[in-house]
Amino acid sequence: MQRLQPQLKTQLENWLEIQLLETIVHEPESNPFAVRYSDYARLSEDEKREFHEKIYMENYDWIESELDRRKAEGMIVINGHVVKSSSTLNKIPSKPQLERLGKKKGLVPFLFVRNIPIEESKATEPQHITSWSRVSINDFYPTVE
């Protein structure tokens, strides 16, 4: 029995993950998120970016409502299901992590992050132009010079 415990645990975790993924979250007429990773991997970087933008624009309302509902700054969607969300951008997976997830699941993991509004100055005099000040490596805030 001791030898079977790790195998049973793994099988139970896999079963639970499948059960969670089967919760219907997004059901468009044809699921745009059901994209085989092997097909996606063959695209050029430009084609991948265009494809991702198309999916984002076509599903903008649903994506934004899911981010709002989860109080998330980012989320990963696979096959129309939100499989992970985060309230901070610090926990967003890297490109290699997303690639590993896509290979493991066999489907494209779409990463969506909340739009960040960009402040733009409407000042007419150069001394009032808004610029960005660095707080840390990936953190900036607008300032008036």
* pLDDT tens track for 77-92: 999 999 999 998 888 8
Task: Name 31's Cβ contacts closer than 8 Å, sequence gap at least 6.
Answer: 79, 80
Q: How confident is the model at residue 34 (pLDDT cuts 50, 70, 90)?
A: confident
Q: How confident is the model at residue 26 (pLDDT cuts 50, 70, 90)?
A: very low
- The alpha carbons of the chain give a radius of gyration, in whole angstroms, of 20
Positive or negative: CA dihedral 91, 100, 40, 23? negative
* pLDDT tens track for 98-112: 999 999 999 999 999
Residue 71 phi/psi, 5-degree rounding, is 50, 50
- 132 forms beta bridges with 142
Mean pLDDT calculated for residue range 45-49: 91
Q: What is the pLDDT of residue 101?
A: 94
Give residue limits of the domains in the chain: 23-114, 117-145
